[in-house]
């Protein structure tokens, strides 16, 4: 018997007079703003300027949303609303983080490269901000009563309305709040990345690789809890396999790039270029010019 629980909102829409705002979209905007803020603070501290951060944000965010929705549509087509606008309905939830990060980073890197700044350094600057944004964005799942975990009687079990429960779980009332687990885990990960970046000599983009490893490690265990409909392969959810593959690749790259690779720049050194029409890029603590 559950003696305590976390209530879910009765609606995912916030009414402000004639305006009907989707809480999921509001959380996405807050997540994006948090990422831009943290990235900008780090980039400016390293000698860059806000203009480049904002340009990267405009193009990277747009590409990220397209990539995230495309990944969701391709891997969870059974959850796409059966309307002509279904594939584009991000306000209904359904954004695949893998597609969003991939396309967003690629387009953002293109913008940075055209500016003449260091793509590698920008990747390290944005890494903690991306993880912060992912944690905040998960609160949108709470508003939509989606992507929760298995039934639980723990005091922090999440109450889910009957219409949002998957088949086979209609008689269960409280479930693991995976949105909360990921939020806490991501915030801890942000603190770890900020500490590692300040305390150790990191060769860019090793911090970005570490961010990917941290996220995929936690995401794998989250996938073991989730019960939302998805495709399986060899007994595991598709996203669990993606987490395994990406974790192995990013961790191997981090170890090789940071500790094994020889030739060119020494570990902890990054060859940077000047930002056009601005000051030369300062190297953060632990990074020296080559």
What residues does each domain of the chain span? 25-260
Greater confidence, 59 or 11?
A: 59
Greater confidence, 65 or 81?
A: 65
Chain mean pLDDT for the chain: 85
How close are the terminal C-alpha atoms of the chain, in Å? 63
What gap in Å lies between CA 260 and CA 266, rounded to an integer?
10
Q: Is the pLDDT of residue 224 over 70?
A: yes
- Read off the pLDDT of each residue in 6-18 and give the average, rounded to a whole number: 84
15: confidence class by pLDDT, cuts 50, 70, 90 = confident
- Read off the pLDDT of each residue in 202-222 and give the average, rounded to a whole number: 97
In terms of phi and psi (left: phi > 0; alpha: psi -120 to 50; beta: otherwise), the region of 234 is left
210 within 8 A of 124, measured Cβ to Cβ: no
How far is CA 108 from each of CA 71, 99, 117, rounded to the nearest angstrom? 18, 14, 12
What gap in Å lies between CA 244 and CA 241, rounded to an integer?
5
**pLDDT at residue 39 in the model:** 98
Q: What is the model's pTM?
A: 0.84
Cα of 141 vs its chain's centroid, Å: 14
Torsion on CA atoms 61, 209, 146, 136, rounded to nearest 10: -60
**pLDDT at residue 85 in the model:** 54
What gap in Å lies between CA 87 and CA 77, rounded to an integer?
9
When mean pLDDT is compared across 16-20, 21-25, 78-82, 117-121, the lowest value belongs to: 78-82
Q: pLDDT by residue (tens digit) across 227-282? A: 988 888 899 998 899 999 999 999 999 999 999 987 544 444 443 333 333 333 44
The torsion angles phi and psi of 216, rounded to 5 degrees, stand at -70, -30
């Amino acid at each position: 018997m559950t003696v305590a629980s976390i209530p879910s909102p009765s609606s995912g829409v916030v009414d402000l007079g004639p305006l009907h705002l989707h809480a999921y979209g509001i959380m996405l905007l807050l997540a994006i703003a948090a990422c831009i803020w943290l990235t900008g603070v780090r980039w400016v501290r390293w000698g860059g300027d806000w203009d480049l951060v904002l340009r990267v944000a405009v193009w990277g965010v747009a590409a990220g949303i397209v990539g995230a929705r495309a990944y969701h549509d391709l891997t969870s087509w059974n959850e796409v609303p059966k309307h002509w606008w279904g594939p584009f309905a991000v306000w209904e939830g359904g954004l695949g983080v893998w597609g969003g990060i991939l396309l967003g980073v690629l387009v953002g890197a293109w913008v940075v490269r055209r500016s003449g700044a260091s793509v590698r350094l920008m990747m390290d600057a944005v890494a903690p901000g991306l993880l912060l944004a992912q944690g905040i964005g998960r609160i949108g799942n709470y508003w939509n009563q989606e992507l929760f975990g298995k039934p639980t009687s723990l005091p922090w079990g999440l109450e889910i309305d009957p219409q949002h429960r998957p088949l086979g779980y209609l008689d269960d009332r409280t479930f693991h709040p995976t949105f909360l687990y990921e939020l806490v885990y991501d915030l801890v990960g942000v603190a770890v990345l900020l500490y590692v970046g300040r305390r150790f000599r990191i060769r860019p983009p090793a911090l970005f690789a570490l961010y990917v490893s941290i996220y995929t490690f936690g995401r794998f265990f989250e996938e073991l809890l989730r019960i939302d409909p998805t495709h399986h392969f060899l007994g595991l959810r598709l996203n669990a396999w993606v987490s395994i593959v990406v974790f192995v690749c990013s961790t191997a790259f981090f170890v090789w790039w940071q500790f094994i690779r020889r030739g060119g720049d020494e570990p902890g050194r990054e060859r940077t270029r000047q930002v056009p029409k601005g000051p030369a890029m300062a190297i953060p603590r632990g990074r020296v010019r080559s």
